[in-house]
A and B are shown apart, each in its own frame.
Chain A
């Protein structure tokens, strides 16, 4: 218990300092050695993996730790706080671990995020930018298709390439499209944003946000495939590396 309090104190003081002097003074995780990570991996399996998955990719509505992006925390301190206190309004409880154990768990959670840059290190981002232009990627990806600025941070290069070679292989339901015919004969078509028992919300082709009451709908067609063309065989190996290097750079201006 004493140990727990000591680390809690460090954490609290760190938080105060951070509030006063910006993030540069934030306390870093003091337990990040290989031994700490190994201890953290054990703790993660016993305390976290039931809901978050042994692979860190989430289990049932829980976040994907391999992205390295955290919705509710931006620092190790933030992660520490979540493990120590839980998250209100969710099933995430406070965990009965001492401070060192929490830091070790945080170290393990951090280690899930993969190394991305190495995968396409042979690519030339400038040439990748040219390919991006040549193939008019922005025509869709700046409007109706997924935004790509951070895509290289969230997904490894091999996964990105697969998404371009086999766009229909895995289409997140957030990108499904819908074609609706209303009873009056009018039709609505676009990206399906949300749906419940009684209504559907969509972004139509003209860029308008629309909400349809299902009682007014005569027919609904859900399109689970991607409108993106496959690029399999359309790029040479070096071009793939260039394009991936550009996507991973995160500098898509």
Chain B
């Protein structure tokens, strides 16, 4: 098995494009962020025998959004608010625990969540709610360096796993509901010294500033709260940016509001913008483009191209040439009522009157969008793109006046919806008439649905595909399950009793394949008996 696996073990940075199968080396599994594993021990034939190997209880009642790493026989996971645990991935027993001490008041918008860490050269990198990036010795958990990137009291908070590209650690800031001015920063991995910073909301004199009326750019949002991707050959790193601020009162920020709700392609060495694409210009609904940039090398119209697949919160699925940002395909993947479609350059053709209003405007999709930050997956074997979709789901959007005050909520409106956006109801009596979730398989060449696995309640779970054509996911109901990646047929399921708001991972420990998922306040790890 090892011999076969090492066919994929190419050199240096490219190793993380198709990483060594025994590890789960980055938040998204690889630089290409396909959430795909080449491990083949668990198959459709034996997945029915998957059984609980161990659990780890988080010492926190916050939402458990961790997606762990596994590096050479050690698992690294995060617990809310800002704790890192290193443990044995075969037994769950801890090696060390690092608790970052936070000030009394921090500013994550919607729960004191933390999603993961990054690893490189014996160091664990972590970004904190008080806007620090820290590096720990991966063996001992000792602090190696710490750098404060901005004053968190202005509404900034770091919740995503950093991305390490070559010798740099890249992070961005949340705070899109608190009037921040978003940025991405790269730090030297050895010293923590900042190397470059890209302002997501351009200032006066910078290209894009003209897309903001008056001084509105100052509190324009454009947050980062999910890890990006990287193409070593192009040396470009890709990141999805958050909503413009204030979320639901767009009248105060006339213009397209660059680079909110966009994918950015930045030179990894300099932080210079190579290209961008804005999914929802002048967003009125809080449809962050905070999704996983899924990178795929594949034939398109008869020639091999470097592609990027993107299912946006705004309800459309996109395909780009990731070398230059050329828009190749756009197609809606859920019910939406705000755009007639996309024009030839991918810009939405808006239907007037669907934005927020004083009396409320009912629009599809609702505020969580057609999908959100939950990781999609791609399988190079099936050629399908898999995502967690929220379909037939709406919100009623309200707008009102709001003044900016430092460190305070700055949303300019609100949303009502029959379906709670990010919280599990312990009793669910709703039926699916107000919306439902599905694991949806799209043919990325056409955007058409290949198959659908519908659920009763919503799902905020990420996905994992494997070389044996398994697709793992969970849901808000508290289930964790495996589907046949070719047909969507249910092959195995377990009730874990707590909502899944993270992505499954798989790895080898002592030669055995494991699958891990966070649910409720517990990390569950499964293996064949």
Residues A50 and B414 in contact, CB atoms below 8 Å apart? yes
Question: Complex formed: what's the CA distance from A88 to B112 in Å?
Answer: 8
Residues A196 and B62 in contact, CB atoms below 8 Å apart? no
Q: A173-B429, A176-B429 are in contact. Are A49 and B408 (CB under 8 A)?
A: no
A193 at the interface (CB under 8 A from B): yes
Residues B248 and A93 in contact, CB atoms below 8 Å apart? no
For residue B248, which residues in chain A have a CB less than 8 angstroms away from its CB?
50
Residues A197 and B475 in contact, CB atoms below 8 Å apart? yes
- For residue B155, which residue of chain A has the nearest CB? A96
Q: A50-B177, A93-B109 are in contact. Are A88 and B60 (CB under 8 A)?
A: yes
- Selected interface stretch from B115-123, B303-311, B416-424: B416-424
Question: Which parts of A174-200 form the interface with B (CB within 8 Å)?
Answer: 174, 176, 192-198
Residues A47 and B416 in contact, CB atoms below 8 Å apart? no
Question: Complex formed: what's the CA distance from A176 to B430 in Å?
Answer: 9
Question: Complex formed: what's the CA distance from A51 to B110 in Å?
Answer: 10
Question: Which parts of B388-420 form the interface with A (CB within 8 Å)?
Answer: 395, 398, 400, 402-403, 405, 407-411, 413-420
For residue A93, which residues in chain B have a CB less than 8 angstroms away from its CB?
107-112
Residues A96 and B105 in contact, CB atoms below 8 Å apart? yes
Per-residue interface assignment for chain B, residues 445 to 489, with 1 indicating a CB less than 8 Å from any chain A CB and 0 otherwise: 000000000111100000000000000000101110000000000
For residue B414, which residues in chain A have a CB less than 8 angstroms away from its CB?
49-54, 59
- For residue B405, which residue of chain A has the nearest CB? A46
Interface centre among A46, A54, A86 (most CB of B within 10 A): A46
For residue A90, which residues in chain B have a CB less than 8 angstroms away from its CB?
111, 423
A30 at the interface (CB under 8 A from B): no
- For residue B416, which residue of chain A has the nearest CB? A59
A61 at the interface (CB under 8 A from B): yes
Residues B420 and A60 in contact, CB atoms below 8 Å apart? yes
Question: Which parts of A12-60 form the interface with B (CB within 8 Å)?
Answer: 45-54, 58-60
For residue B421, which residues in chain A have a CB less than 8 angstroms away from its CB?
60-61, 91
For residue A54, which residues in chain B have a CB less than 8 angstroms away from its CB?
398, 400, 414
Residues A47 and B429 in contact, CB atoms below 8 Å apart? no
Q: A53-B416, A195-B456 are in contact. Are A60 and B398 (CB under 8 A)?
A: no
B493 at the interface (CB under 8 A from A): yes
6 more contacts with CB within 8 A, not counting A50-B409, A88-B62, are A50-B248, A61-B419, A94-B106, A96-B153, A194-B429, A197-B456
A-B contacts, 19 listed (Cβ < 8 Å): A46-B409, A50-B415, A54-B414, A59-B416, A60-B395, A60-B415, A88-B61, A91-B423, A94-B105, A95-B409, A96-B107, A96-B407, A174-B429, A193-B427, A195-B429, A196-B477, A196-B479, A197-B475, A197-B477
> Chain B: residues with CB nearer than 8 A to chain A?
60-63, 105-112, 153, 177, 247-248, 367, 395, 398, 400, 402-403, 405, 407-411, 413-423, 425, 427-431, 454-457, 475, 477-479, 493
By Cβ-Cβ distance, the 6 closest A-B pairs, closest first, are: A61-B420, A50-B414, A91-B110, A173-B429, A196-B477, A96-B407
